[in-house]
Amino acid sequence: MSHLCPRTQRPLRKIRIGEVELEFSDACGGAFFDRFELERFDDAVEFPGDQLAELMNRHRTGGLDFSQRLRCPKDPDVVMMRRFYSPKRQVEVDECPACGGIWMDAGELAAARVERPDEAASRRQTEELLVEVLGTPVVAEFKKEQADIEASTRRIRKLFGFFKLD
């Protein structure tokens, strides 16, 4: 069954990018990701993400009302929640509270990939956000607890070297 684009109400087309099949809007360049599918595309070093971001960026979005609340393509009775996708809070996506699917408009995937170039940069951005929101002392305490956990894990690995704890 073909679902409808939440922006244009035109049918979405199933496309395969890499190992993932997702729904794409030829009308506006948006894409609907089932739960956890977006994680296969949002890292700047993932090749399938390059392909999809390029496809999405080919579309013009003029004339679309981005303030409009969207209904989920899979669950049309459910209004999706708008939330920030990245630590820097530059990219917003629409997420269905019922199915966990995410709608990204044209250009949003490319912007998210710029903000999340790799895992290390993602950790740094998250830390910067924590400092901004919670303050430096809280983050310093969190880092100390993380270091203590890592040290404990190393000691346990030495004691039980035959177990793989990762």
| Domain extent listing, the chain | 13-115, 119-159
Q: Which residues, 6 or more positions from 61, have their beta carbon under 8 angstroms from its beta carbon?
A: 28, 29, 105, 106, 107
Give backbone dihedrals phi and psi of 104, rounded to 5 degrees, phi first. Answer: -120, 130
CB burial of 117-134 (b: ≥16 within 10 Å; e: otherwise) equals eeeeebeebeeebbeeee
Distance (Å, rounded) from C-alpha 154 to C-alpha 51?
40
Q: What is the pLDDT of residues 6-27, one digit of tens each?
A: 999 999 999 999 889 999 999 9
Q: What is the pLDDT of residues 57-69, one digit of tens each?
A: 887 766 778 788 9
Higher-confidence residue: 122 or 90?
Answer: 90
Q: Both tokens of residue 86?
A: 């990245």
Distance (Å, rounded) from C-alpha 128 to C-alpha 83?
19
Asked whether 17 and 51 are in contact (CB, 8 A), the reply is: yes
Global pTM exceeds 0.85: no
Query: In which band, very low, low, confident or very high, does the pLDDT at 44 lie, cut at 50, 70 and 90?
Result: low
Name the strand (E) or helix (H) holding 128: helix 119-134
